[in-house]
Chain A
Amino acid sequence: MADYKIHLLVCGGTGCKSSHSQMLAEHLRTEIRNQGLNDFAQVVGTGCFGFCEKGPIVKIIPDNTFYTQVKPEDAKEIVEEHIVKGRRVNRLLYKDPKNDKIITDSKGMEFYKKQMRIALRNCGVIDPENIGEYIARDGYAALGKVLTSMTPVETIEVIKKSGLRGRGGAGFPTGLKWEITLKSPGSEKYVVCNADEGDPGAFMDRSILEGDPHSVIEAMTINGFCTGASKGLVYIRAEYPLAIERLKTAINQAREYGLLGENIFGSSFSFDITLRYGAGAFVCGEETALIHSMEGNRGEPTMKPPFPSVKGYLGKPTNVNNVETFASIPVIILKGADFYNQIGTEKSKGTKVFALAGKVNNVGLIEVPMGITLREVIFEIGGGIKNGKKFKGVQIGGPSGGCLTYKHLDTPIDYESLIAAGAMMGSGGMIIMDEDDCMVDVAKYFLDFTVDESCGKCTPCRVGNKRMHELLNNITKGNGTKDDIDRLINLGNVIRDTSLCMLGQSAPNPVLSIIDNFRDEYEAHVHDKKCPSGVCKALMTYEIVAENCVGCTACARACPVGAIAGERKEVHTIDPALCIKCGACMDRCKFNAVIVN
């Protein structure tokens, strides 16, 4: 059979799928059939394109036309116009938010220009449910190379030389971890893939598993060969149903093809992978807690050492790596350590995936070389701040990370620079905030999360974070005192120093870094009892300006609690004791007579 002349790639990631991309793909297939173009054009469901802001995405190959926010109803027009007649459907093309210019070719989009896709190399390109497409793009060639021509020690040397460091957040050198596991005595060892992605706003692991599950399977198998393990386990949260489904399909296909199982590539090496489901506790992303959870115990961390590489799952040496780390391995093996270690900075090599979220124009998933600056990420790839507002801060590394401000915009992104700036790489979540966000409220939000997710085992984390949360709560309610800021700093430092695991040790980070960078906002809340961004309701008062009020009664009718009094055609007043600060009066007033302080 001849090959298709045109491919229509339809994003099948969770984001686009929830906007009916599956139905869209079905409609496209039907329309193509109706036009009798079955042998001419092919519809492929792929993984995430990363441009989640404007999903569902349809990309037409070979002309790289990039359609955004496509609805199932648009299928007919796309097929009739673009596929049959070669005319682009202009209304579905991407518009550059900066100048409203239509961009037809995805290569012309700022979003993709500075990206370098290694871990995401197949996401948005292949059909993740078809092992053939993975093999066609050099899939399993790295495994073949390792099993037929390399020893475990040689392979580990390549990984060490590449400079790859753990992408789950801590940045431990991956090759070294493999070596420790290899050297740990024991006939029974395990490979664990940590797919317990818990940072709010981070979804790179999910996207890789949904878009390119075979790359993780291949890398785990290579890891098994290198460390002497014959069993692999993927610890994945049950709230990722699509990733689980695709991973299961991929594992079954790999078994069918003999790429998992006995005597892989005719060697004496055998390996298989099973899944373990987590219930979504944040602490289970910590490797010792993860292992306890897999063993059927409570997901609580234990002291390290012993490290899992020495004594892990069922007391056996266990190599735990993150999804993104694994996804980078096959490329390093095939293209060589030197290809990889030329990308990035002196101590942080290669590329890193970031999830852009918050008040930025291009929300989505990006992969960039280490050493790129925050400015490039936020203002070029991210397309700047939404609605032309002013940039205020960016939270990097989720609830364990820190909040950086405009003075850090030219900081190169690598493990060391971020820590020096008071944040951390974490799993790569980036939440961008604008002038309307109250930083005290943001600190409270992240602490809220860690207080909820603390496992309760050690006192500093269980009690300390709770107390910090109370202090913050008081401040946002206008009950903060002068000493509260110092108290927060003291308490935060104690929690950081004395907690058992990284969850507790890093929980005060957002609060402390925000005090560092936005002390004036804390002080405004404490001393002036004002919230400069107008977020903390308790610190706001609504007032009616007498000169502007015409007495139309619109505000009084809009008020849900009857806090506004005043006769027709006379100046109205708001009773602050009754006012719930919902802002309905302000929205309703046509004369700008309602103001907020």
Chain B
Amino acid sequence: MNKIKNLADLRDLKEKLQSGTKLREKSEYPELLVQVKVAMATCCIASGSRETMNYIVDELEKRNVGAVITQTGCMGYCYAEPTIEVILPGKEPVVFGYVDVKKADEIIEKYIKGGALVEGIIPVNYKKIDN
């Protein structure tokens, strides 16, 4: 271990280590960030949702989008796996179907970064029982 000899050393070290605990800081104020929920039931995983989730987490980080990505259970749209739900700060949730890596890329670029809707939206026609 190299010793910390000045403030710059500490800053470098902090930057290197920061990503390790960033997730915990983000989770303190998720409503201010882009929230992505990836359906991860057995059927979703079989259709490749884990690859989708990994891709989204890594790409949002790379493209500097502050986001919290969580996994949820089956969303019910099993015909359209993998499905993801995206909540932009202050907006209604939008569910996308058939999200493979290519589709995920398009959603990140067009919807998450640009706010423009893309093909593949599943209309939400249910109500939640809580609240």
Contact = CB atoms under 8 A, between A and B. Distances in A.
Contacts of B95: none
A258 interface: yes
23 contacts: A2-B54, A2-B58, A3-B61, A5-B53, A6-B71, A61-B24, A61-B27, A62-B27, A62-B69, A63-B68, A85-B40, A86-B39, A86-B40, A87-B73, A125-B21, A125-B24, A126-B21, A132-B17, A133-B20, A133-B21, A136-B14, A140-B10, A266-B6
Interface string B21-50: 111111100100000001111100100001
A86 B73 contact: yes
Contact of A257 (B1, B24, B54): B1
B14 A141 contact: yes
Contacts of B3: 256-258
Nearest to B72: A86
A9 B97 CA distance: 32
A135 B17 contact: yes
Contacts of B23: 3-5, 7, 61-62
Majority DSSP secondary structure for residues of B touching A = helix
A587 interface: no
A148 B7 contact: yes
B64 interface: no
Contacts of B80: none
A5 B14 contact: no
Contact of A5 (B4, B21, B26, B54): B54
Contacts of A64: 27, 30
A265 interface: yes
Interface in B83-113: none
Contact of A258 (B4, B21, B70): B4
A169 interface: no
Given A3-B19, A3-B61, A85-B41, A266 B24 contact: no
Interface of B: 1, 3-7, 10, 13-14, 17-27, 30, 38-42, 45, 50, 53-54, 57-58, 61, 68-73
A86 B69 CA distance: 12
A229 to B, nearest CB: 21
Contacts of A265: 4-7, 10
Nearest to A82: B71
Interface string A135-175: 11110110011001000000000000000000000000000
A137 B6 contact: no
A560 to B, nearest CB: 53
Contacts of A258: 3-5
A306 B4 CA distance: 39
B17 A62 contact: no
B10 A135 contact: yes
Shortest 8 CB-CB distances between A and B: which pairs?
A: A258-B3, A86-B71, A86-B40, A87-B73, A136-B17, A62-B27, A63-B70, A62-B68
A259 interface: yes
Nearest to B5: A266
Contacts of B57: 3, 5
Contact of B20 (A6, A136, A266): A136
Contacts of A3: 19-20, 22-23, 57, 61
Interface residues of A, number: 36
B17 to A, nearest CB: 4
A218 to B, nearest CB: 11
Interface string A36-48: 0000100000000
A195 B23 CA distance: 32
Given A5-B57, A266-B5, A137 B41 contact: no
Nearest to A102: B130
A582 interface: no
A5 B59 CA distance: 12
Contacts of B41: 85-87
A279 interface: no
A84 interface: yes
A86 B21 contact: no
B103 to A, nearest CB: 19
Contacts of A63: 27, 68, 70-71
A93 to B, nearest CB: 13
A7 B68 CA distance: 12
B82 to A, nearest CB: 12
A132 B10 contact: no
A136 B13 CA distance: 8
Given A84-B45, A87-B73, A141-B10, A132 B20 contact: yes
A71 B47 CA distance: 33
A144 B10 contact: yes
A545 B33 CA distance: 68
Nearest to A262: B3
A86 B19 CA distance: 23
Nearest to A145: B7
Nearest to A127: B21
Contacts of A148: 6-7
A258 B1 CA distance: 10
Given A64-B27, A86-B73, A148-B6, 19 more contacts: A5-B23, A5-B53, A5-B57, A5-B69, A9-B24, A85-B73, A86-B39, A87-B41, A87-B73, A133-B21, A135-B17, A136-B17, A136-B22, A145-B7, A257-B1, A258-B4, A259-B4, A265-B4, A266-B6
Given A62-B70, A144-B10, A136 B21 contact: yes
A125 B20 CA distance: 12
A200 B25 CA distance: 34
Contacts of B6: 148, 265-266
A407 to B, nearest CB: 38
Interface in A214-243: none
A64 B28 CA distance: 8
A157 to B, nearest CB: 21
Nearest to B57: A5
A149 to B, nearest CB: 8
A9 B10 CA distance: 26
